């Protein structure tokens, strides 16, 4: 009887542990319609991110399990429901670094999160978004180097300027490039994109605050 009881407790404990492991695995979460699940690739991206100290800290700071899904188009984003949409193929180190970028946005709060504060002008909100993007791009560049990713995220000349700058000034290098008209110096034109989004959310009937 005692042996049977011990065996039952061990089995129950094993079931609880297994359930906890399943719950903590990002690849076991469901993907919304239109997105594809790839548990193996999702797990590899998280493992790569956790293989370097700054990536491991990000994962530890995550508000919950990472729900990573895949799509051929519009990848490299985190949705408002917290789903990470990543590319289904390509360099896994680069994708892991991008995941770190997106995870930072999720932890800190995505730029222009809804509802918008009606008392704050779009110029102020977009300026804050540019600071957040500069920080996230800086993190992504550093993660790419940590993970020994070859190739460039941004224009090679801009990246050369970035790496030549003291670490404390690197965010400023990216920020200055991002806020240039048209996304100058090889940086994406995010300022224009955020401005358009803010104005759209502020338009009548948008429901964005």
Give Cα separations from 126 to 23, 69, 72, 101, 130 (angstroms).
Answer: 36, 28, 28, 18, 6
pLDDT number for residue 118: 87
In a domain, residue 97? The reply is no
Is the same domain home to 38 and 75?
Answer: yes
pLDDT number for residue 76: 94
Q: How confident is the model at residue 28 (pLDDT cuts 50, 70, 90)?
A: low
List pLDDT tens digits, range 34-83.
999 999 999 999 999 999 999 999 999 999 999 999 999 999 999 989 99
Residues 122, 123, 128, CA angle at the centre, nearest 5°? 95
pLDDT number for residue 12: 37
Among candidate residues 40, 55, 89, the one where a domain is terminated: 89
In a domain, residue 186? The reply is yes
In a domain, residue 178? The reply is yes
Quickly list DSSP for 122-160.
Answer: HHHHHHHHHHHHHHHHHHHHHHHHHTT--S-SS-HHHHH
Is the same domain home to 31 and 75?
Answer: yes
pTM: 0.82
Domain limits for position 64: 21-89
Is the same domain home to 205 and 162?
Answer: yes
In a domain, residue 106? The reply is no
Is the same domain home to 158 and 127?
Answer: yes
Considering only CA atoms, which of 172, 178, 173 is closest in space to residue 159? 173
pLDDT number for residue 183: 62
Match 């990543």 to its residue by tokens: 86
pLDDT number for residue 205: 57
Is the same domain home to 78 and 137?
Answer: no
Q: How many CB atoms lie within 10 A of CB 137?
A: 25
Domain count, the chain: 2
pLDDT at 13 over 80: no
Is the same domain home to 141 and 77?
Answer: no
């Amino acid at each position: 009887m005692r042996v049977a009881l011990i065996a039952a407790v061990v089995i129950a404990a094993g079931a609880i542990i297994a359930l906890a492991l399943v719950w903590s695995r990002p690849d076991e979460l469901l993907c919304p319609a239109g997105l594809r699940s790839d548990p193996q690739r999702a797990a590899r991206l998280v493992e790569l991110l956790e293989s370097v100290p700054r990536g491991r800290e990000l994962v530890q700071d995550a508000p919950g399990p990472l729900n990573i899904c895949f799509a051929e188009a519009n990848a490299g984003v985190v949705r408002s429901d917290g789903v990470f949409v990543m590319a289904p193929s390509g360099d896994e180190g680069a994708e892991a670094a991008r995941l770190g970028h997106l995870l930072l946005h999720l932890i800190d709060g995505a730029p222009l999160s809804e509802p918008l504060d009606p008392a704050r002008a779009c110029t102020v909100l977009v300026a804050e978004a540019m600071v957040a993007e500069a920080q996230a791009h800086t993190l992504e560049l550093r993660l790419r180097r940590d993970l020994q990713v070859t190739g460039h995220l941004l224009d090679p000349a801009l990246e050369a300027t970035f790496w030549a700058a003291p670490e404390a000034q690197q965010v400023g290098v990216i920020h200055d490039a991002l806020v240039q008209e048209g996304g100058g110096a090889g940086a994406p034109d995010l300022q224009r994109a955020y401005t358009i989004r803010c104005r759209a959310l502020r338009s009548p009937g948008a429901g964005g605050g």
